[in-house]
Chains A and B, each alone.
Chain A
Amino acid sequence: ILNLAADFTSLTKMLYDLHKTQEPADYQGSPLAQLVVEDFDEEQIWQELELQNNAVLKHFQNAIDEAVSDETLTVLEDEEEEDEEENGQEEEEEEGATDDENDAEEQEEEPPIPGQSKKKAVEAEDGADAYSEEDSDLDFDVDALEKREKQKKEIGRKGSKTKVVPSEVDDTFFKLSEMESFLDDMDKREGKEDEDEDDVDYFQDLPSDEDEDADLVTILSTKKQQKHTVKSSRNLKYKDFFDAVDGEPAKTDDQSDGEDDSMDGSQEEDEEEMDDEEDEYDGEEEGDDDDEERSQSKASQKKVTFNLSEDEDSEGEEMEDIFGGKAPSSAKSESKSSFEKRQEKMAKQIEELEKAALGEKPWQLSGEATAQTRPENSMLEEDVEFEQASRRAPAITEETTLQLEDIIKQRIKDQAFDDVVRKEKPKEEVFEYKKRLTLDHEKSKQNLAEIYEQEYLKQTQQKTEEEENPGHVEIQKLMDTLFLKLDALSNFHFTPKPPVPEVKVVSNLPSITMEEVAPVGTSDATLLAPEEIKAKNKAGDVLGTTEKTSTDKKRERRHKKKVKHLKIKEKERRQKLKEASQSGEKKKLSKAEVTENLKKLTKGGKATILKDEGKDKALRSSQAFFSQLQDQVKSQIKSTKDPSSKKKKSKELSVSKLKL
């Protein structure tokens, strides 16, 4: 038993010492750097431990309070935390011998909390226990980590605990809600101004794994996040940042878990540092960094993000840089100064630019490009600027169609059609001629004032006339007719109709013939003007036959022929129509048509008209016909028998000649 006790004390001492060496600056533990156990009895050892515990307890309590107050933590975790806290607290109250275990446990509890907070978003529902077990191996790292995490608590937790609100632009690589939440965090951070970024040491070399332990204290002491790296940036590999290539959110491997934990906390800082370096020569905005950082901050939810604001040239370089050490240009090992790195990048860029300048230009920059010289469908991706002289055809969309239809419907309702009105040549009546302005060659009877007065009156009177009620006019007319009828009925004597305004007929005779008495003065004002009789030809005066030139004659001839042609055509058309309408029925031809047909037939000589020679009366019967025929034949024979007879051959009665 004594040995056991001695073992316990020595163990306690060891643990205490180890713990003390690893203690971060703000722990404010007890002032004792080592647990003195020699010649101390339990009471004294216990007091030493109590010193440490009390000091540390406060710290732990703060951490727990914050963890509890942090609303992004789920109930489950809280419970777990609380359980663990309670456990821890209970255990704390126990004897000092178990103090170390308490410490260990408490330390265990603490890291799980931030660790869980980071792992929260992970589908892996192993829960905190598994992690806590794994974490216990890396207590010290995790302790340091935890301190850092507290500073960056909000970011880490929020970054991992925000519910992913799906948005339109989301895909496997990018989540809008994540970006927004990260940006909020960054804003808050800047608002707090807890960190002074002036202290950022851009030239500091990123420590490697081996250096970590040694540097940890110094790193922590500066309170700078950017300094915290666990892994040298050059040794980072793709899988440290991104998921497996198939794009699924990878479940963290056990292997890389520990590294992940440390990485998660430091990944953001890593990237920040790297991005700072990149800032030096790219000048990129924070937003793009945020994308990368935030995406990386989620544990095991690594997405590939592309820095779109950067040059295309530098993009590849960045990736190379991020991958670390894969670029062939980095001949040196990890310990390259930042200046050298910058120079490298610059040189790379220069090389690229030179290559581009010397090499073949793309088709866009090499003058005229026909379809054969450029790749297929490459114009579709080009933004071409050209001027169009003509107006573009209106784009027909649904809206335009609907608008058009509305207009059409409205027009139909209003009956406001755009029908083409038949244009009629205004044929001026010859009698209108007189109504035109007549020239008075005499001095006007009225003076100027009167003329204008009359004009003015005319104008005003016109207005009053128009204002006359058409209804009144109608009424007046009806009444007149009625009264006329009544008058006619009520009078014994015939009352003629009231005189209607006479139409005076002016005859086109010289006035001297109308009047017997020689007139004092003759005037031809009463005569009709020639234009009133016959409208004047547009061409001009009438020409006599001797006055016409050959062109005039030809013109007339052409005109005549045209008119005649039209007439004939018209006639034929009518004829055809008539026949078409009469088709099928018994065609009764008119006399004129009959003679027409006859003439047509005889013209060609194909038919001859039988002429009636006045012998029809006797030939009404067949007997008479045949007797006549007989007589004729006899006479014929006689004539042939008697060749000397110079009988005039009487008219042969041939069958054809007889009217049958």
Chain B
Amino acid sequence: MESKEDADSFTKVKSRKTQKRKLEPDGADMDTEEPVKRPQFKPLSGDKLRGPDEMRKIPVPAHRYTPLKDNWLKIFTPIVENLHLQVRFNLKTRNVEIKTCKETQDIGSLTKAADFVKAFILGFQVEDALALIRLDELFLESFDVTDVKPLKGDHLSRAIGRIAGKGGKTKFTIENVTKTRIVLADTKVHILGSFQNIKMARTAICNLILGSPPSKVYGNIRVVASRTAERF
């Protein structure tokens, strides 16, 4: 309601804490006026609307420590320059911390940045993870191989091998056909892409886990993909 009264074009969303409606000093007169009247608040300047800085922390496992170090430049550049956020790697807690600052325009960028870093930490390439910042409708899905079918020991290994294929062939095929990115981390599978594509890829991977041969899976995903491509 206060934003409506705002004379500025500033559309910043203020923090929840300050959103309690403040009673006007002449609030006692309200009853005497029409009951449906909107309370009138004085327009505030942008500074006052800003709440305290928000922060996100993303923990980094040990095996991703080195890749993070190597790609640090590529990671923080878009965050700082494009999203206008502050980012640092807390060595003590081994967390990547992202914080808003005065320059931050959109509070949603904080979430985007957090997702970007998280995707990288999971194992995706920086360029692929960067798509999360650029595109709104990309999502990240993770599941376990054991979730699909309770496998143990060699079966599990074979299932993972089926997903990957020789030299990663199968995985690449699925990625290419469904326009997604897949990360196979032991028993965990992470998929990055748009909603429909994630579904397609997930179906294909599940079929592989359940035991169908790759050629069959190729055929299926090809059909589905061509159908979706035709639709657009």
Contact = CB atoms under 8 A, between A and B. Distances in A.
Interface of A: 436-437, 439-444, 447-453, 455, 459
B172 A442 contact: yes
A452 B131 contact: yes
B127 A449 contact: yes
A441 B176 CA distance: 8
A443 B127 CA distance: 14
Interface string B209-232: 000000000100010011001001
B13 to A, nearest CB: 27
Contacts, number: 59
B232 A439 contact: no
B173 A447 contact: no
A447 B176 contact: no
Contacts of B194: 452
A442 B172 CA distance: 6
Nearest to A453: B134
Interface residues of B, number: 29
Contacts of B125: 447
B58 interface: no
A94 B222 CA distance: 132
B148 interface: no
Given A448-B193, A449-B135, A459-B232, A439 B128 contact: no
Interface centre among A440, A441, A448 (most CB of B within 10 A): A448
Given A437-B177, A441-B173, A448 B218 contact: no
B85 to A, nearest CB: 19
B173 A449 contact: no
A444 B175 CA distance: 8
B118 interface: no
A443 B171 CA distance: 9
Contacts of B198: none
Contacts of B169: 441-442
Contacts of B222: 436-437, 439
Interface string B158-179: 0000000100111011011101
Contacts of B181: 448
A528 to B, nearest CB: 19
B192 interface: yes
B192 A444 contact: no
B128 A449 contact: yes
B87 interface: no
A368 to B, nearest CB: 61
- Interface of B, secondary structure class, is helix
Contacts of A453: 134
Contacts of B175: 443-444
Given A436-B222, A437-B225, 9 more contacts: A437-B177, A437-B222, A437-B229, A439-B176, A439-B218, A443-B172, A443-B175, A448-B128, A449-B127
B179 A447 contact: no
Contact of B226 (A437, A442, A444): A437
B230 to A, nearest CB: 11
Nearest to B179: A451
A64 B218 CA distance: 117
B127 A444 contact: no
A448 B172 contact: no
Interface string B180-208: 11000000000011100000000000000
What 7 pairs across the A-B complex have the smallest Cβ distances? A447-B127, A449-B131, A448-B128, A448-B131, A441-B169, A440-B176, A447-B128
B79 interface: no
A520 to B, nearest CB: 18
A439 B176 CA distance: 8
Nearest to B192: A448
B172 A441 contact: yes
A388 B194 CA distance: 53
Interface centre among B175, B180, B218, B225 (most CB of A within 10 A): B175
Contacts of B130: 447, 449
B172 A440 contact: yes
Contacts of B218: 439
Contacts of A452: 131, 134-135, 138, 179, 194
Interface in B122-152: 125, 127-128, 130-131, 134-135, 138
Nearest to A458: B232
A447 B172 contact: no
Contacts of B165: 441
A444 B135 CA distance: 19
Contacts of A444: 172, 175-176
Contacts of A459: 232
A344 to B, nearest CB: 74
Contacts of A442: 169, 172
Contacts of A451: 179
Nearest to B223: A437
Contact of A448 (B127, B168, B226): B127
27 contacts: A437-B222, A437-B226, A439-B173, A439-B176, A439-B177, A439-B218, A440-B176, A441-B170, A442-B172, A444-B175, A447-B125, A447-B127, A447-B128, A447-B131, A448-B138, A448-B179, A448-B192, A449-B127, A449-B134, A450-B127, A452-B131, A452-B134, A452-B135, A452-B138, A452-B179, A455-B179, A459-B232
